[in-house]
Each structure stands twice: as structure tokens, then as C-alpha cells.
Structure 1
Amino acid sequence: MIPEIMDGKNIADFIDPEIEAKLDELEREEEERAQLAALEAEADPMEDDAAEAHAQVAKLASAIRKKKGVIKETARRDRAANHPTLPRNVKARSKSTGGMVAHLSSIGIETEAKAMSNLRSKAKARSPAADEEERGRSTKRRPMADAMDVE
């Protein structure tokens, strides 16, 4: 055998003398595996049912995931709307006793003014002068005694 040199390397080092025998052995093994797979396919008709059952389970799992997503989105939307659209004090200001009396009289319930006397009326505004006198700190400075005066 004459060594051939290519790119500074001996090509004969990369040649396997038993490569034909190894190739024949691999081809025989491949044929055996193909025959074995064909026998298993003929002997196991339940595999088709298993594949069909697997497809049904996958379809059901997909439907469950979709339903869970819908439920989560609904809960998220409901949670976002779980507060009054207007603050309570604004809603209370928009309602009046006159409106309630009109509604009650429209449905046939008579109302008298003295029966409505216990309804809460609007709070009276306090004058700023009353605020200064009753609570809070005084805005006037009191003369402080000289700390150096000793009796």
C-alpha cells in the first residue's frame, strides 16, 4: 500500500480495512428491525385504538385549557369591575328626598312631611371663625416669658 499525503496528513491512517464487513452487518441489523416492526404492527391491533384514545384525550385537554382560560378572563374582568363606578358620597349627593317622595307617591304610598323629618339633611357648613375657636392650634403667638427671669 502506497501512502498518500494530503494537506500534510497520511490518508491511509483514515481508511478502515474492515469497513465492508461492518456495513454488511449494519444492513442485516436494519432488515431485522424492519421485520420485527412489521410483526408488532400486525400482532397489536389495539394500537390504533390507543392512538384514537390518545387523540380524544388531547382534544379534551385542549377544551379544558380553553375553558380555564375563559374562566380566568371572566374572573379578571369581574375583579376589575368590583368597585363602584362613582364614589358613594357622589351617589348620595345625587339622590334627594324629593325624588324618593315622588317615587313612593307614584307607586301608591302616601308620604307626609312629618314622617320624613327623620331623614338626614345636608350638613351645615362651618364658618372659619368657629373652626379656629373650637379646635386646632392658635394662629396668634403668645408672649413667652423670658427664660432668664428667675424669681
Structure 2
Amino acid sequence: MHRRSLIADLAEALGKSEEEVRQFLEALWQRLPLAIEIEPPFVRYLDAKIEGVRSTLEAEIKGLRSALEAEINGLRMAMEQGFKRSEERDEALRREMDERLEALRREMQQGFQQMAERDEAIRRELRQEIEALRSEVQRLERWFRTFAISILLMLAGIIVQNFLK
């Protein structure tokens, strides 16, 4: 805003329009030689100090960044090793479980086979006992027939004797 009022003031003092004054100032600015500025020694001293502090801070930041990256890489490697150990433990547990399941399966199959063999042995034993009982019953039937026939013949003989008398 200050620039507009300066242009307006100049335009009023010169009796020209603001646009003409603006064009004049722009042309004047382009034609004037640039003055070389020399920095005072204190400014150069401050710039050097600021540059020194900046380079020190950049070096410290770079060192901290490197240390942080090294720490992150170390943690990453530790995590990867931990994951690898976990995977190895999981695999070992999986193998152990598979082995145990296989052993249990074999034991169950042996148990079933032993049960089947016992069942078959019991059936054979029962068949033998049934066969023995059948043989005994047949022997008893023969003995009873023999005894019954003998008794019937004796009774028939007694009855015949009683009729004949």
C-alpha cells in the first residue's frame, strides 16, 4: 500500500497519471547501474559462525541418522532372526506332533489288530467249547438212548413176563 501512495503522491506532484509515473519509475530502475554492496565484517563473521553451526548440526544430524539407521537395521535383523527361530521352533513342534500322531496311529492300529486277534481267539475258543458241548450232548444222547433202550427192553421183558404168567 505504501508503494501505491508514493506513486499517487508523485503523480499528483508531477501532474501526471499514476500509470505514467509507474512506467517512468520502472524505466529508471532498469537504467540505473546496480550498486555493489559490501558486507560489513560483523555480518561476514555472523555468516561464518552460522555456517559453522549449520555444518556442525548437519554433521551431528548425519551421525544421528546413521546411528538410528544402524539401530533400526540391528533391530530388523534381530526381529528377522527371532522370526526365523520361531519358524524353526514351529517346524520342530509340527514335526514332533506329526511323529506323535503317527505313533498314536500305529498304536491304535496295533490295538485294533490285537483286539481283532483276541476277538478271533475268543470266537475260536467259543466254537471249540460249543463243539465240545455238542460232542458231550451227543455222547449223553447216545448213553441215554442206550440206557433208555435197555430200560425199555427190561420193562418190556417184565411186562411180557407178567403177561405170560
Fold agreement, TM-score > 0.5? no
Greater C-alpha Rg: 2
Which of the pair is proportionally richer in helix? Answer: 2
User: Relative CO higher for 1 or 2, CA cutoff 8 Å, sep ≥ 6?
Assistant: 2
